[in-house]
A and B are shown apart, each in its own frame.
Chain A
Amino acid sequence: MNESHPPLPLIEPDLDARYSLEVVAEITGIATHTILHYQEEGLLPTGPSAARQEEILFDDATLCALRRIDHLARQYEMSTPALKLLCGLLEEVESLRAALRSRS
């Protein structure tokens, strides 16, 4: 980085950020009923469950998962069972990789 340049904009992500259903729909561009469908199907990382729809809160990991699911559904026309299968496999691969990494 050239020091004569003005300082770069600093972005401070909040790891603990939680979003309401409406905010998630806005951020991801995915309709609320679709998000709820994915959640009911168990496709999203389980977060704290809420009795009322307005009280459900989502975290960054869920946002990331949602965008991936949405991409798969749109790009490859994947059905919900296929999404379940693939997301389950991706999750398993990731946790096995993590186990492998932490062993070394």
Chain B
Amino acid sequence: MSVDFKDYYAILGVPREASAADIKKAFRKLAREHHPDVAKDKVGAESRFKEINEAHEVLSDPEKRQKYDSLGARWQEADAGMPPPGWGGNAGAAQGRRYEWSGDDQGTEFHFGGTGFSDFFEQYFSGGTSYGHPGGGGKGFDPHESAGTRARRGSDVEGDILVTLEEAMHGTTRPISLQMRNARTGAVETHSFQVRIPPGATDGRRIRVPGQGEPGRNGGAAGDLYLRVRHAAHPDFSTQAADVYHDLALAPWEAVLGAEVLVKTLDGSIKMRIPPGTENGKQLRVRGRGLPKGKTGERGDFFVVVEVELPTELTPEEKEQWEKLRLVSRFHPRGSAPT
């Protein structure tokens, strides 16, 4: 089995030397175009949106980007018979991830499907780990536990799951498949199930799926599966816990004189009053319009972050107005009158 290399730069349409700002800009533009909410071809848009998100996830994180760049350089070589590290086994399924315990010849292999990430991402960039009581043989492991027929609980398995903000808002159901090959018995078992992602699944939150981790040994209980929520980047919103942030572009006169603007939230638009003298970067809070917080019905807040944009192309009339303003204005941001 092999995994196709993903050209994340091509997906975002940026050169390899693109700056972080270029990547963000390219992502936003594409994400807006392909966001399932706005695109006409819903199914096609969704897979494209996930792909764009995945590229952004890797290229916007300096550490992951560096890893990706060095991986790209080695890819040909790896393809020609030198499998990248961690490559092993022959579980044979079409999608997912696998990993094995290092230093453990009795390890269990895991293979994920349905997380919303590509095989390539799963293999190299998903921060997933597996921990618990690995199946014997590890360094420093209690010999009494690894020997014989004593019942032992299976390891916990952890993996990332990509959740769009709309899904985090309303909840969703995801089919997940977890394929495990027990290296000791050679048997491959696939566990397929659906997991309800409840509304309010915040970024980084681990959703515990009881009993879906590694099977126990000698009659021990199975480990648990932890799905770590990764919010898909959204062109218009970002999140911090249950709070949602939205950058609002304003014209200089709107910020200075105040304005009433229509602002898009995750559930409908709201009319907002921008008070006169609103400074760039100011956060205006709308209570209770963020993500749900548990079952209480309580919700996080919605923050509008003011981004004053300046006109760059001026007509002669506009230029005249700005020049007039310069003459009459008492505003001196550097503290003294301009010379």
Contact B153 A29 (CB under 8 A): yes
Is B61 interfacial (CB 8 A cutoff)?
Answer: yes
Distance between Cα atoms of A29 and B220 in the complex (Å):
10
Is A22 interfacial (CB 8 A cutoff)?
Answer: no
Is A81 interfacial (CB 8 A cutoff)?
Answer: no
- Binding-face segment, B84-92, B233-241, B276-284: B233-241
Q: How many residues of B contact A (CB 8 A)?
A: 49
Interface residues of B in 106-126 (CB under 8 A from A): none
Is A55 interfacial (CB 8 A cutoff)?
Answer: no
A19 CB, min distance to chain B CBs, angstroms? 11
Is A101 interfacial (CB 8 A cutoff)?
Answer: yes
Which B residues lie within 8 Å of A82 (CB)?
none
Q: Which of B56, B60, B193, B221 contacts A8 (CB 8 A)?
A: B193
Contact A71 B240 (CB under 8 A): no
Which residue on B lies nearest to A99, using beta carbons? B240
Which B residues lie within 8 Å of A94 (CB)?
204
Residues A9 and B226 in contact in the complex (CB < 8 Å), given A15-B200, A67-B156, A102-B238: no
Distance between Cα atoms of A80 and B230 in the complex (Å):
31
Residues A75 and B226 in contact in the complex (CB < 8 Å), given A11-B194, A63-B208, A94-B204: no
Q: Which of B141, B198, B206, B209 contacts A74 (CB 8 A)?
A: B141
Which B residues lie within 8 Å of A15 (CB)?
198, 200-201, 205, 207, 294
Residues A8 and B138 in contact in the complex (CB < 8 Å), given A13-B208, A100-B61, A102-B238: no
B114 CB, min distance to chain A CBs, angstroms? 9
A-B contact pairs, 18 of them (CB 8 A): A1-B192, A8-B175, A8-B192, A11-B193, A11-B195, A11-B212, A13-B209, A29-B221, A61-B206, A63-B208, A64-B158, A67-B132, A71-B133, A74-B133, A74-B145, A76-B139, A98-B204, A102-B245
Please report B residues at the A interface, Cβ cutoff 8 Å.
20, 24, 56, 60-61, 131-134, 138-142, 145, 153, 155-156, 158, 173, 175, 192-196, 198, 200-201, 203-210, 212, 220-221, 224, 226, 233, 238-240, 245, 294-295
